[in-house]
Structure 1
Amino acid sequence: MIIVSTDGSCLRNPGGAIGWAWVNHTGPSQSGGEPSGTNQVAELRAVLEAIRAHPGSEPMVIESDSQYAIKCASEWVSGWKRKGWRTASGEPVKNIDLVRGIDEALGERPGPVRFRWVRGHVGNHYNEEADKLAGEAARAVAAGAPAPAPVASVTGAETPAKTVSRAKSVARTVTRVERPTARAAAAAQPALFDLPAPDDSLTLF
């Protein structure tokens, strides 16, 4: 199972430079940024880039401290699509390009993707690392330096292992989502993946 932490940063919300980052728990990480955006744009971009960088069939868990990004990717998107990408009040969906991009990336990925909310800034090693990289990318863009280009796609089998000390995390599962391809959905009844009740010693394996 691939586990990736994502985070976004905006130096002045809205309109300031933004940075995004994802951190594979046993492999590489990547970050990037843009001259202008919002916190929500940065969080969504981090999720999108994480999915695109891990296109294989291995199950994947994305940890994020943004409930907005998680709900956009897993809860709200179905209703928005049925309504022609409109909200319940009839307004156009905000950040629609990123939301649609995430939905398409999930649909194209052979392996299932789940989302977990984690509390930010409480010593979670991978969340803190993603936050650090996203902030650095935003500051680099604001200073006029080119942001790092997205890394080439990786899979669980190709990801170089490295020893990482997993810090204590305070986390709870807010969404358990399987996003199989249409072919896979037709071949089997959809199923949700159940995670154990999270605590300070949560084990996902």
Structure 2
Amino acid sequence: MDGVITVSTDGSCLRNPGGASGWAWVNHDGSSASGGIASGTNQIAELTAVLEAILAHPGAEPLRVESDSTYAIKCASVWVAGWKRKGWRTASGGPVQNLGLVQGIERAIAEREGEVVFHWVRGHQGDHFNERADVLCGAAARAAQQGEVVVTRTSVTGEVTVGVAGPAPVATEAVAAAPVRTAATRTAGARTAPVARVPRGTQPEPELDVLF
């Protein structure tokens, strides 16, 4: 489909739970971003990657987020509506895990002008962008293990910038220097957007999900 922004995301945790972790997104135009988490889990890393990808790609164009994590996809597009309806409780009445990230993703989708669609991909099976995201989040996790918790961004021209945590908007054709834009600063003009969806025929397969 013309005009669609496609981004692959991935997360990594070196020792699950509680180990140094990393997240990454790779736009299929060649730009990317990755960052470290001092102490996290596989699930936190995967959700952070999805949130960072959505916040970094505002605009009216449809956004397609590809992930090998069924957990992240279902949190963002399947379970979230029910959890919200139940006051952010699970079907069994328990608390939603990683609630801050889940709510951040839900809010980012609602505030984004264009729709967000999720697509599951099989991890570690040669998909170029999935593999690239895997490399970047792994490197970010190892850097975090050494105490370097930073965000690295690469533009479509290959320019690399390193800074503190916080996503910056990017364009589909080029990545220009832009102010940090977080969920907390994107409330102006917020609207109710369609719930993110998983395209028919691409439902994630739990037994094939790989969370590294």
TM-score band (shorter)? 0.7 to 0.9
2:77 is paired with a residue of what secondary structure?
helix
TM alignment of 1:116-195, pairs within 5 A: 116-148=119-151, 149=163, 150-156=166-172, 158=174, 181-182=191-192
Q: Please, what TM-score do these two structures have when normalized by structure 1?
A: 0.78
**Unmatched 5+ stretches in structure 1:** 161-179, 199-205
Indicate if the aligned counterparts of 1:27 and 1:159 stay in contact, CA closer than 8 A.
no
Which shows bigger deviation, 146-155 or 76-85?
A: 146-155
Give the Cα–Cα distance (whole angstroms) in 2 for the partners of residues 157 and 9 of structure 1. 28
Distance apart, 1:33 and its partner CA: 1.0
Runs of 4+ in 1 over 6 A off after TM superposition: 190-193, 195-198
Structure 2's unaligned 5+ residue stretches are 152-162, 177-189, 204-212
Query: Could you tell me how far apart the structure 1 residues matched to 2:123 and 2:47 are?
Result: 16
Q: 2:125 and 2:197 mapped to 1: Cα distance?
A: 28
The number of equivalent residue pairs is 174
* Counterpart AA for 2:32: S
Counterpart of 1:21?
Answer: 24
Q: Which residue in the other structure is 2:100 paired with?
A: 97
Paired residue secondary structure (1:132): helix
Q: Secondary structure at the match of 1:34?
A: strand
Describe the superposition over 1:116-148 as per-residue Cα deviations: whole angstroms up to 9, x where unpaired. Answer: 000000100000000000000000010122422
Q: Normalising by the residue count of structure 2, what TM-score does the alignment of the two structures yield?
A: 0.75
Q: Between the two proteins, what is the percent identity of the paired residues? A: 61
Report the alpha carbon displacement of residue 196 of structure 1 after superposing the two structures with TM. Answer: 7.7
Distance in 2 separating the partners of 1:144 and 1:136: 13
RMSD of Structure 2 on Structure 1 (CA): 2.5
- State the distance in 1 between where 2:202 and 2:147 align: 45
CA spacing shift, 1:151–1:91, aligned 2, 3 Å: closer
